[in-house]
Structure 1
Amino acid sequence: MNRDIRIVVAVDFGTTFSTFAYANIQNPDDIVTNDSWPEQSGSFKTNTALQYNDKFQVVKWGYPALAQEPSGRKKKRLPDGSENKPVELFKLCLASNLKPEEKPTLPAGIDHKKAITDYLREMGKLIIETLSSRWPGIRFPQQVRVILTVPAEWHDEAKAFMRLCAFDAGLTDSLRSENLEFTTEPEAAAIHCISILKEHQLNVGSSFMIVDCGGGTVDLTTRTLLPGNKLGEVTERAGGLCGSSFVDREFVRYVGRKVGMGAMNKLQNNNYGQLQYMIQQFCIKAKFPFNGNPEEFISKDFDIERVCPALMKYVTGVAEEQMEEAEWLIELDYASVKAMFDPVVDQILQLIQKQITSAEGRVRCMFLVGGFAESQYLQLRVKQAFSRFVTTIAVPSHPIAAIVRGALSYGLNMGTVETRVLKWTYGVEVSSKWERGDPVERKTPSGRIFRFHQLAQRGVEVGVDQTFKYTAGPVIATQMDMTFNIYVTSAISARYCDEDGMRLLGKMKIDLPDPRLGKNRLVEFSLTFATMEIKATARNVQNGGVYQTTFDLEF
């Protein structure tokens, strides 16, 4: 289909902060990163936060939705008289490697799908307003390509979930719209860094690592600069849940050790806004300025009575006596704050070490990007650990905007990325004749066996638009349809679809016309790794008809 794309918009939907950038394809060098937000200007990002009323309607988003300082009244109410419901960190609900109890608790009546959709809808309104003022008459979303960034560690199901949220939010006019594309956060950052590679004496054939340090995730990718300012991928993309918000979680645990974790749990359940305000004050007073130098650190007293008075009523027993003796002040000294950073920073260093090992010493330069990359302590620890192995460790200008600008560059020239390394092994379930040597317990009453037929293997570098094919025919001569069950696993190889780590990615059902041809009705099934989403196609070998170009994911 010939799409009339006029504008490209990149949306960096982050755990703690989000932003968007845009450009006209007729003038791709004029890239604009938005810096005008509700009640906030001059900042490239706004907070990934929402505030609801009792009817579950969004009344504030971004910076204004942050939890406010306790007012002294029994309940802080909105202008319409209802109680506010601040919601933050909801992106973490999509993290598959977080245990349920570790995921953020959202107010009753609000799940992460509603929160993500509502946030994208509010940002979409601002995007439409911004584009319309710049280019009157632009038709949104028909003439706009949207690039949405996602963490490297997200499964295909999470990307499909985001596609559904984007559609429900009005960013696309159909669920399978080709106007919506994805790129990983470290890949976008790598594209952004192409423009500064020469500053660090990197030429064609040189490899560099991107360490994207965000609020929720830290994502890594190692890329090689190819001729024509294109990128190839050297190793598998990697990542972990060790972004800056997990320093905040260590702070909450620290306070919990002083007042009792039972008190903290009650605070989270009953006074979520005050908990979030307390975390915000910790970030301003201790987290942001911490640089790891004990001689420059000034201990700070955290006044619970002023910052989080609701907590006081939940503290009992010995903890209450100790806190009253301390006049409800909690000291944040150097050792305590360092102990909040170190578990998180140590995980980041482990991820970097694994990438360097996988790259077999080919990394010449490392770029730290993302909001957490501005932490002087994180920069110090990374340089201490890896300056012997990597020639250059640098933080590009405006690291907080590197991802959205790179994503926009990708949307303007999607040929920038030539190869990607697969993070998973993909295949389909097939039915074949049971043979001697096959497990007896897997033999079906009809004398067949179901196996995993591998199409694409984890760790293999594939070209963009590279297709992996498999040809199948009906098992029964009279059957009128055929279903392809598509599976994915982290294993390099697998034999059966019920092995540990195997996941059903989706199903694709097609019609099988012409039953008079019996079993002589071959269908060519293929997976194409064209973009960050996997696309499936089934083609009738006899008549050339294409039955479907995408498949439905199981939510």
Structure 2
Amino acid sequence: MAEVVRTDDSESTSKHSEKPSVCPNLLVAAIDFGTAYSGYAFASHEDFIENPPKIRIPEWDRFQELRSLKTPTSILFNKDKKCVAFGYEAERKFTEMSEENKHEEYYYFEKFKMLLYKSEIEKDQKLTKRTELSDINGKKMKATDVFSAAIMCLKEHLENELKKTGVSQEEEDNIRWVLTLPAIWGDDAKQFMRDAAVEAGIKDGCLKIALEPEAASMYCKKQPLVHSNREIHAFEPGSRYLIMDAGGGTVDVTIHTILKNGKIEEVDSASGGAWGGTYLDRKFLEMFEDILGKEVFEKYKKENLADYISICKTLELGKRNFSNSSTHLEIKIPESMIMLCKGLNTNLVDLIKKSTFQEHVKCTRAKLTLSFRCVDNLFAEVCNGIVDHISKLLGKHQEQKIKTVLMVGGFSESQYLQDKMKNAFPNIEMVTPNDAGLAVLKGAVLYGHDPKAIVSRIARFSYGVSSLVRYDVKKHSPQKNKIVDDVEYCTDLFSKHITKGEKLNIDEAQACQTYSPVSKAQTSIRFCVYKSEDTDPKYIDDEGCRFVGHFDVDIPDSTDGADREVLVSFMHGNTELKVEAKNLKTNKVTEHKFSFDENLHDGKQYAFQGQ
């Protein structure tokens, strides 16, 4: 049993390896793995230095010769759990099989990315390698298999496109890959996606994680922005602006400032919530549940899956086009829903009259007509959360007088959301780029070529490790008193390395701490990492503290007994949390990856677990 001892009581999986070599970035390829839609883009160094940079986004086949720059984040597996289709092709194949009632043995997943955000906000949704996803019919597969297969599909599509453009094998072998993720995701979700990308065939040392609002910020900085027919100068040195990335799942918000050298600095830590476009879709579907009854609608979905998918697509299109100037919204009803009602000896007209939507939804022929007030109420449940959050942030930074809000992401293309924001903040310039839905993807390519364009970030949490110090009855709780080798220790101390709200410069280590083993015979130390919403947590089980992961440091030479010190450094200025450990006797420095499994009883030595 190995335990960690702090050498002082100041306030101030793990696989480990030497620092991975960074691959030469002859070509940067970015994957925007979205909740509703995904895509990729790439640019060579020559493309990057053009003004403006030349970013290539190949098209996806849609249907009937239509083409799109993104494809649905939908994936289809056969009964052997082998991927057979992705994107529009997966939608098409699954719909056809559903119409012929041949879909039961298949696994169809869509909009599954939000599982990774749930692991951050719900304590019972801990993300591990054993985490499973439920498909559209409730059948389960390992989440790692689903995510890695989806990334592999995007990767292979990109590689096929590169072959068409005459990219050399050397360039293809040394691509710098960039994967976009929401800034409000947890460390375990970031590591999960990195592992999935590596499993999909992307070299670990050639992969960078880009935070979505930062990528969008970099892209907007390179573009001429116009508001009310005049150019916006949001990116002059000293200027501050709020950037809001409203995607399918989350809304990511942060505040940036431009330094004299043109670099970008984060002013406030990223924040946001689950207010993306797919949650508005869910509100529309809840309307159908209210009208038909939840059990009946679930039965309809199961027995008429192709028509259910068609309804979802109709809702998505209607959502995009709805605005404050709209008078109503029409939704086409499949014949199968009308027949379902007949089978229940009723009809949609009568069911609507019995529902809470009786005054605002009308049924004529094969369509529903929703009044403006009805749709406005559905939008409000989602959009009010966005407006309230932006209002709090602007109030918090009132002295800085933020004049511009950049609205990016697919949901920001909603005219209703744009109108809502303009009405809520009449004195703020609300700027939506023409290609708001591609801003993150294009910006991720820029980030891959220039990752040091973002020079610092603000810590969203305090970070530290579980440790021990000599027990002091005046300082420590009696419940934390533990005797090891006839010595009294205080257990479960939160040994802080990073403070919430702290400015974190890239490639710069935060507070370093020195640790040593408790037992003279220890040959390794397990460090359990925790984060806290508090700026100065005392114990790892304080309210607001949460386990992040663990890593092991080998100290095989036990000739010096417990007198073997390890210097631990946290680096969180980049997009991912990294830890370095230096054996002060051998001067060997190793960089450590986390294991995010909370099941620590795996035979390895660790700090005060199970004793």
Name which of 210, 230, 250 aligns with 1:183: 210
**Counterpart in the other structure of 2:44:** 24
Which of these residues, 36, 47, 58, is aligned with residue 59 of structure 2? 36
Q: 1:127 aligns with which of 158, 169, 172?
A: 158
Tell me the equivalent position of 1:521.
564
Paired residues of 1:235 and 1:359 also in contact (CA < 8 A): no
> What is the alpha-carbon distance in structure 2 between the residues aligned to residue 238 and residue 197 of structure 1?
27
Q: Is the partner of 1:153 in helix, strand or coil?
A: coil
Partner of 1:500, secondary structure, is coil
The answer to whether the 8 A contact 2:179-2:209 is kept is yes
**Which residues in structure 2 correspond to 1:60-79 (within 5 Å)?**
60-66=85-91, 75-77=100-102
**Does the Cα contact within 8 Å between 1:68 and 1:273 map onto a contact in 2?**
no
The residue type equivalent to 1:543 in the other structure is T
Give the residue type in structure 1 aligned to 2:112: F
Q: Which residue number in structure 1 is paired with residue 587 of structure 2?
A: 544
Residue type of the alignment partner of 2:68: S
Quickly say closer, same or farther: Cα 1:239–1:73, change in 2 above 3 A.
closer
Is the Cα contact below 8 Å between 1:471 and 1:524 reproduced in 2?
A: yes
- Cα pair distance change 1:440/1:65, threshold 3 Å: same
Secondary structure of 2:81's match?
coil
Aligned residue identity for 1:345: C
Equivalent residue for 2:109, pick from 87, 95, 103? 87
1:389-468 matches, within 5 Å, as 390=428, 392-437=429-474, 438-446=476-484, 447-450=488-491, 451-468=493-510
In structure 1, what is the equivalent of residue 221 of structure 2? 194
1:118 to 149, 159, 164: 149
Correspondence 1:470-509 to 2 at 5 A:
470-509=513-552
Change beyond 3 A, Cα 1:496–1:197: farther
Aligned AA (2:109): V
CA gap of 1:524–1:63, structure 2 versus 1, over 3 A, is: same
Q: Structure 1 residues 270, 111: CA separation in 2 closer, same or farther (over 3 Å shift)?
A: farther
Question: Which string of whole-angstrom CA distances, capped at 9 and with x for unpartnered residues, describes residues 497-549 of structure 1?
Answer: 12233222121212224322233321101111242111111101122112443
Distance apart, 1:84 and its partner CA? 5.7
The answer to whether residue 239 in structure 2 is matched with residue 220 in structure 1 is no
For 1:139-158, list aligned pairs within 5 A: 139=170, 142-158=173-189
Alignment of 1:200-279 (within 5 A): 200-202=232-234, 203-269=236-302, 271-279=304-312
Deviation, 1:261, is 1.2
Question: TM-score with structure 1 length normalisation?
Answer: 0.89
Q: Who is 2:83 aligned against? A: 58
Please give the alpha-carbon distance, in whole angstroms, between the structure 2 residues aligned to 1:44 and 1:238. 28
Aligned to 2:373: 335
Which deviates further from its counterpart, 232-241 or 541-550? 541-550
Deviation per CA, 1:366-399, whole angstroms, max 9, x where unpaired? 11111111111111110111122x2x21111211
What amino acid maps onto 2:447 in structure 1?
Y
For 1:280 and 1:181, the matched residues in 2 are separated by 33
* Equivalent residue number for residue 397 of structure 2: 359
Matched AA of 2:506: V
Q: What secondary structure is seen at the aligned counterpart in 2 of 1:110?
A: strand
Return the offset for 1:347. Answer: 0.9
Offset from partner CA, 1:230-251 (integer Å, 9 cap, x none): 1001111011111111111111
CA contact (8 A) 2:98 2:305 kept: no
- Whether contact under 8 Å (1:259, 1:320) holds in the other structure is no
Check the 8 A contact 1:232/1:419 in 2, yes or no: yes
Distance in 2, Cα, partners of 1:71 & 1:46: 18
Q: Is the contact between residue 551 and residue 595 of structure 2 (CA under 8 Å) also seen in structure 1? A: yes
- Equivalent residues of 1:21, 1:31 under 8 A apart: no
Residue 2 and residue 13 in structure 1: after superposition, are their counterparts in 2 closer, same or farther (change >3 A)?
closer
Q: d(CA) in 2 for partners of 1:410 and 1:65?
A: 31
The structure-2 alpha-carbon separation of the partners of 1:315 and 1:260, relative to structure 1 and needing over 3 Å to count, comes to: farther
Q: CA deviation at 1:116?
A: 1.9
Q: Which residue of 2 aligns with 1:291?
A: 323
Instruction: State percent identity of aligned pairs.
Output: 25
Task: Tell me, yes or no, if the aligned pair for 1:76 and 1:83 is still in contact at 8 Å.
Answer: no
Cα distance in 1 between the residues matched to 2:520 and 2:96: 74
**CA distance 1:458–1:514, change in 2 (3 Å):** same
Q: 1:161-187, CA deviations, whole angstroms, 9 ceiling, x for partnerless residues?
A: 1112111222x13xxx12111121111
- 2:30 is aligned with 1:10: yes
Q: Partners of 2:97 and 2:580 in 1: how far apart? A: 61
In terms of mean alpha carbon deviation, does 5-14 or 39-48 score higher?
39-48
Deviations 1:55-95 (A, max 9, x none): 433333212333689789963448xxx86654211112212
What RMSD, in angstroms, separates the aligned Cα atoms of the two structures?
A: 2.9
Task: Please identify, of 111-120 and 332-341, the stretch whose mean Cα deviation from structure 2 is larger.
Answer: 111-120
**1:301 positional shift:** 5.4
Letter in 2 for 1:89: K
Q: Residue 511 of structure 1 contacts residue 547 of structure 1 at CA under 8 Å; is this kept in 2?
A: no
In terms of mean alpha carbon deviation, does 326-335 or 56-65 score higher?
Answer: 326-335
In 2, Cα distance between equivalents of 1:554 and 1:190: 34
Equivalent position SS for 1:419: strand
Q: Secondary structure at the match of 2:495?
A: strand
Q: Decide whether the 8 Å contact of 2:329 with 2:370 is kept in 1.
A: yes
Unmatched runs of 5 consecutive residues or more in structure 2: 1-20, 126-132, 226-230, 355-362, 599-611
SS at match of 1:368: strand
Higher relative contact order (CA 8 A, sep 6+): 2
In the alignment of these two chains, the number of paired residues is 541
Q: 1:257 to 1:523 in 2, by over 3 A?
A: same
1:353-392 equivalence runs, <5 A = 353-362=391-400, 363-388=402-427, 390=428, 392=429
Tell me how far 1:272 sits from its aligned partner.
4.3
Distance between the aligned counterparts of 1:225 and 1:316, measured in 2? 65
Instruction: Give the Cα separation in 1 of the matches to 2:289 and 2:303.
Output: 16
Report the CA distance between 1:364 and its aligned residue: 2.1
Structure 2 residue identity aligned to 1:423: R
1:267 and 1:114 mapped to 2: Cα distance?
A: 29
Distance 1:216 1:305, change over 3 A: same
Structure 1 runs not aligned, ≥5 long? none
Q: Provide Cα deviations, 1:25-44, integer angstroms capped at 9, x if missing partner.
A: 24413533423213466532
Q: Distance in 2 between matches of 1:85 and 1:310?
A: 27
Q: Which moved more, 1:465-474 or 1:151-160?
A: 465-474
Q: Quick check: 1:159 aligned with 2:181?
A: no
1:104: Cα distance to partner?
7.2
- Is 1:533 matched up with 2:562? no
Q: 1:261 to 1:134 in 2, by over 3 A?
A: same
Report the CA distance shift for 1:205/1:38 in structure 2 as closer, same or farther (over 3 A).
same
Match of 2:386 in 1: 348
Counterpart of 1:14, as a letter, is G
Shift of 1:476: 2.6
In structure 1, distance between residues paired with 2:122 and 2:596: 21
CA distances 1:198-231 after superposition (whole Å, capped 9, x unpaired): 8412320110111111111111111001123210
Contact kept in structure 2, 1:230 and 1:417, CA below 8 Å = yes
